[in-house]
Amino acid sequence: MALACTALTAVVMSTGVPAAPAVAAPSQRPTARSLSVAPALAPLNPAALQQAISSAPDRVTAVLARVSGSAGRWTGTFGTADVTTQAPVEPEGRFRLGSVTKMFIATVVLQLAAEHRVDLHRPVQEYLPDVLPDTYPPISVRRLLNYTSGLAELTEKDLPMDPQGIVEHRFDDHPLAELVAKAVRHPRLFDEPGSMQSYGATGYYVAAMLVEKLTGHSYQQEITNRIVRPLRLRHTTAPEIDPTIPGPHAHGYITVPQPCGGSCLKDITEQNPGAGGMISTTADLDRFMTELFRGRLLSPAQLGEMLTVPDVPYLGGSDRDPGHGRAYYGAGPMRATVGGITVWGKTGSTFGYTDGMFVTPDLRRRLVYSFNPTTGGGNDLALVNRILSAAFADRLAGGRAQ
């Protein structure tokens, strides 16, 4: 269930924007001009970047980051790749992507739309008639991708999420159909699809199933054939069952409390890849985002679809969110503001690994990072914020980027 990472909320936000009325309005589609005009970037500050990744708390064993683009380049590491051998962190090391896999799934679905094999306006129930309950209202494919479907999410009652349960069940296989079936037993998040946005994984489980239904191949195969091979992402894989990470990589760990007190660190590097189990490097993800924004993977219309943020409230949102209470995700990526600079990107987490990739729309500055928390999945928001602020705002922020 690696696609189910926590959303980035209080980490990146602009200032002084009042919350809009909580009513649905037309989506705002970016124009070519809006994507190409951007405020001036501050000069890259390597010292600030190294300080940011070196500020990782003790519960993070390793950090690596890469900044690329015409506005400056930098790579850095911190910590150790293996707590037993004390091996150094490899700048080109591989890591698990978790929910960053959503970006690849969204790209494939939008490619299929461009090929007229799927209509984003049509209900997904027409393509997958036996997946969602009959009582559900029509949910368009577009609403799966932009997190406005209202589909329920998995809970700790559905799958083991405590540290010991994670260790004991990390090799269990959970097919997409099983994950969706468990999720839809819970009440929907809101009644009317498209009326609100709420980040989650269930919509992308269904989107991956849609890819498989339309193509006759696993979604991992389609990602490989349509994205990984054409872009020559040599260190990126979309495994279906292989629990290992090939090549150099930092180990993933989880802290497990002990019955008699104290805790121990368990190595969970090897795990069933499951949904969202892609593996990559900072260089490959940098290339993916670069070619995506350059239009190699999607036509202008489809890229515009990906970067369209619905003008609706964000469920449970507040003025501390990147959208200030309004939606801030497009069809896959999120839009945020760091130090006055607009960036697009995606975060991801799975057990032992947290990562993210963010770019300015003109690609002058691009950031990819990965770190290894010992607290299971989820983002260490303060660390993410410091890395983002150092990369795009040229300053270190203790709380959130303003």
- Please provide residue 195's backbone torsions phi and psi, each rounded to the nearest 5 degrees: -90, -20
Cβ contact 110:306 at 8 Å:
yes
Contact 367, 388 (CB under 8 A): yes
Tally Cβ neighbours within 10 Å of residue 212.
17
301, with CB counted inside 10 A (0-12, 13-18, 19+), is exposed
Catalytic residue among 68, 99, 140, 280: 99
Q: Count H helices, E strands: the chain? A: 12, 13
What distances in angstroms separate CA 310 from CA 105, 117, 197, one per listed residue? 19, 24, 8
Separation CA 380–CA 5 (nearest Å): 12
Q: Within 267-351, where are the H helices?
A: 282-293, 300-306
The CA–CA distances, whole Å, from 124 to 141, 144, 145, 212, 304 equal: 5, 8, 11, 13, 21
Q: Specify whether 263 is catalytic.
A: no
Q: Cα–chain-centroid distance for residue 345?
A: 8
Query: Can you tell me the distance from the alpha carbon of 366 to that of 26, in angstroms, rounded to the nearest whole number?
Result: 30
Which are the catalytic amino acids? 99
